[in-house]
A and B are shown apart, each in its own frame.
Chain A
């Protein structure tokens, strides 16, 4: 049996930021019936039994959960490597020390740009200075620090300065991930998608800095799939290596899959092992049997697994088609047209982006 290595636990969709590329669902309020502390602890134990070794604690903003320290302690005692994926907002020295004592292994902090004006504009709230303070705190407590940066038209030209900031913060890793167009990013795609000129420049800077900082800082650069020839092997294949549990207990093969018209699977109704191994949701696109042409006969079918099901659904209305990013897809013209538009005409100002909006509620804990 295939066993999952990693689980993304989206503890809450509450978040103090309003990033216009957030991958959370648009109907955020529908997910406020959050799992309790005890329910999450049961899910973590079931995940470990299933084979999960890496637990990513995310959201929304996971620090909004008042039981985060308890949840980390539980995962640590189960033997999982624990990663906190945070905006940094709410990471006070006291909270950080409690998380350290509970066994948290690694912290990833998002930054939106290298300087406060743009960073705060994108985040939709003054947050840059607190993020930098939080990043310094992470290093001071001896944690490995990863900076997560979502790249788009409005910050990609500052990639050199973003890397300088990461270097000055002594980050161990930086993930420069071009926006993936789901959730709020899908709504803002026309404004966010960078031009080819912007991408070429960014990639040459990444190559140079990667060489200069080799052995000191790991630079992960995630290319924008709209510009690539082949699709990304989304989640390493459907139900193959990873799973996601979202705030209300629904389990998904990937964090964007809540948009797909497929039967739900919830830890409130079934065990995690049944959901992983048997549920119609996880079976639906597992392996290669489901594939249409040109994937079915393609030699890359076990390399990229037909690409991303959510992207196929968003672009064509049918989740079972080849990811239109692939140049071999009969629907590739849809992507080509979006790319064409991104490379001509006047881009809109960042102030015109639609911010993620969500009235914060108290967590269930």
Chain B
């Protein structure tokens, strides 16, 4: 799988993907061509922070202010998966 990301990347949601709140399931959901990804609170927080201005390091820092036990590799892996699906894009530092 490609979609390697580094801590200095500044991810943002790709134009083809959309983060929405689903009132039926009471969950955040990521929507893209032929794809639906149900997010938990942390996943939704990560996607919400990926605005193209923050680096992944800064996103992890912000998550640590909000949640206990934030594992940096897990955040990086989650973003890498979305980059590989082309639901997320990365710019450089």
How many A residues, CB 8 Å from partner? 22
Taking CB atoms, residues of chain A closer than 8 Å to B16 are 105-106, 144, 172
Is B2 in the interface zone, CB < 8 Å from A? yes
CB of B24 within 8 A of CB of A49, answer yes
Q: Mark B16-32, 1 if CB is under 8 A from A, else 0.
A: 10101010110001011
Q: How far is the CA of A137 from the CA of B32 in the complex (A)?
A: 20
- The smallest beta-carbon distance between B33 and chain A, in angstroms, is 4
CB of A172 within 8 A of CB of B20, answer no
Is A173 in the interface zone, CB < 8 Å from B? yes
Q: Identify A173's interface contact among B18, B20, B33, CB under 8 A.
A: B33
Q: How far is the CA of A90 from the CA of B34 in the complex (A)?
A: 23
CB of A81 within 8 A of CB of B24, answer no
Q: How far is the CA of A48 from the CA of B24 in the complex (A)?
A: 8
Q: Which residue of chain A is the closest to B24 with respect to CB atoms?
A: A51
Taking CB atoms, residues of chain A closer than 8 Å to B32 are 81
CB of B84 within 8 A of CB of A53, answer no
Given contacts A3-B25, A81-B18, contact A53 B31 (CB under 8 A): yes
CB of B86 within 8 A of CB of A218, answer yes
Given contacts A51-B25, A215-B2, A215-B84, contact A79 B33 (CB under 8 A): no
Is B43 in the interface zone, CB < 8 Å from A? no
CB of A215 within 8 A of CB of B36, answer no
CB of B20 within 8 A of CB of A83, answer no
Q: Which of A51, A79, A83, A142 has the most CB of B within 10 A?
A: A79
CB of B20 within 8 A of CB of A79, answer yes
Q: Which residue of chain B is the closest to A146 with respect to CB atoms?
A: B33
Taking CB atoms, residues of chain A closer than 8 Å to B86 are 172, 215, 218
- The smallest beta-carbon distance between A84 and chain B, in angstroms, is 11
CB of B36 within 8 A of CB of A54, answer yes
Contacts from B to A (Cβ < 8 Å)? 2-3, 15-16, 18, 20, 22, 24-25, 29, 31-34, 36, 84-86
Contacts from A to B (Cβ < 8 Å)? 3, 5-6, 48-51, 53-54, 79, 81, 83, 105-106, 142, 144, 146, 172-173, 214-215, 218
Additional 15 contacts, C-beta under 8 A, given A50-B24, A105-B33: A3-B24, A3-B25, A48-B24, A53-B36, A54-B34, A79-B22, A81-B32, A83-B34, A106-B33, A142-B15, A144-B15, A144-B16, A172-B86, A214-B2, A215-B3
